[in-house]
Structure 1
Amino acid sequence: MPAPADRQLTVGGPGALLDLNGPATLGFQATAGRRLTVLAQRRTLTAVDNTDLTIVRDGRTVAEGTLIVTWAGVSVDFTAPADGSYTVRINPRTTKDRGTLLVSLVGATTGTLIPRGPARKITIGRPGERAFLTFPAKAGQHLTVVARRGTLSKDEYTNLDIRGPSGELNTSGAVGYESDYRTLDFDVNETGRHTIEINPDTDRTGTLTVQLTGSVTAVLAPGKPARIAFAQPGERAYVTFRAVEGEQFRLTVRPETLTTGSNTLVKVRTPAGLDVVDATLTAAKPTVALAFSSSEGTYTIEIDPEGLDTGTLAVDLRRLPTPS
């Protein structure tokens, strides 16, 4: 029989074990702006066809998801649009499916980060839980989110979305099978409070450490070598220099104390933001020399250690004789 319409879920409370032989409904209360997840997990429910979940308020669909035949569970994430009562509708697509389905309502972990501040440990304590970290940023900043796996399972992805103050997606990525960390570089387009959403791809629980790093800036004078220091894992460097039309340059970059666990990318960009030359520092090739000609304006050298390497790099920019 369908579950009684008045059967209520509570955030973080025990799930409702439904013995399905057709459609079922559950209710819950929510306040506007609260981030929630409805998690449905197979227990003995057969998988002849998919099972649809729809979250409804005042007859309008708020969110929906599908428990696919090859999945053990599905999470439906949403932000409550208003205070009041909500309904979860569970609809098996065939009457042949029988068995139990555990449905629960989970909240979200929240917190803050500070650019160049300490790392924050996030605990996903319940299946289906997400985490939201906010941070202030100004337009034009170059920032990097560094996420390191703690006890979260390596069997599945942990997704990360970075959104601006208006809710638009800036960049996204995941800590996955291939590594125990992920760095996400992004440029801030809008001043205000930004949000990182952390969403494990399954119903696993565990920990993840997240840190927000900035960028190193410097001004380089041709003929005067400089040392660039990366103090925090995930930092990038933006080194600028002035050039005039038709000058010839050679840029040499080599590590001093920079660790070489991962590659380091080096790019030279024109005043218009176009790449002129680029190269990669590797353990096998720790020094690069790039030759290029210039136009009038300020050039930018971007240096990006791809991993979590820290230390110093030597950067030497030399003018070359102009061909007669």
Structure 2
Amino acid sequence: MRKWIINMGILTGIWLTLAGCGAPKAQVIMEAETAAADRTETQAGQELLGDPKERAEETVSFLEQFESSLSFRDMDRERAAAYGGPLEDSYAFYGRETEDGAGYVLGIKIRKESLLDGLTVYGEDDHMEAVIQNDQDGGYDTVYELDGISVFLSGSSQNGVLNEVLYLQPEDLETPEELLNAFDLGYCHGAAGAAYVRDVLERQVRFTPPDTEAYLAVEVERDGELCTEYVPLTREEEREILDSKEPVPLEDGDRLEFFVSQETYEEQDIDGGAVTAPALRIAEERCGFRPSYIEPDMDIEKKEETREEAEKENEGEDGEETGEENEEAREEAGEESEEAREEAGERAREAMENGEADGD
């Protein structure tokens, strides 16, 4: 069961109707001035924000960059508006859906202010309520009810207008998770969130795993928080990682995982493989991943150069050791040969002496 609680901010305008009989003249003047001020405030609140269709198209164009593999089309306008329910007076609703049953609805604020401002939207499963806190008992009073919605997000897309753009996830449509994450971070978490979303798009990584491609799951720190980014891999990159003979021993706390594509899974019946040097290189290039055992000033290429130099040094040392061993063997062989010659000479002298003795 998913729960979504979105804080809608502070109420920007309160309109009160004052009434009374037999009030003094001063009170009548105050009421007249208050009424005039209220009319001015209300008119300001009714200020139009521009063409909602154009703003919806801009938002759709931005979001759907994050899921280019899905082909969306416009939803029937009446159906999209039905998901917005009682908010239709303040928002224009535009829906997008795919042939496979995925989809979402955007609400574009028509005027600068709406009665949604100052409310909190709370929901479980397919029922959402827009509520306002009751100052008397500290509880909440329901202002609007929205049924058939599993996710409700509200953010600002320009000029910091409160609740300017809404994201509604219909319960009867599959959630395009990548778009939902892009909207949440890009529209609901201020300038830092928007900058991170653009950065993710530029680095061509994802908030969620791809459906069928091979990928890396990389845990990195962003703005003091740990998050997981998913790096889609080409078939060539997947093959390079699988064929590599250089496994990477990760320390506890380092999270870098490799998952094969659906095609490879069906062929080899494996979910993932060992993290090897090519995977580590890609994670560093795309996500800035650094395992704990690598020195801070040493990148992957430097590490590989250092390893190659160490191998050459070892080969040189092995060669020196082998030469020394051969020299020792030759010396030992020479010593043995000298001993054998001396022994043979000694035996020959003994034989000559014995022969001379026999002749006598």
* TM-score for both structures, normalised by structure 1: 0.26
| Bigger relative contact order, structure 1 or 2 (CA pairs below 8 A, ≥6 apart) | 1
* TM-score for both structures, normalised by structure 2: 0.24
Judging by fraction of residues, say which structure has more helix.
Answer: 2
Judging by fraction of residues, say which structure has more strand.
Answer: 1
For the pair shown, which has the larger CA radius of gyration, 1 or 2?
2
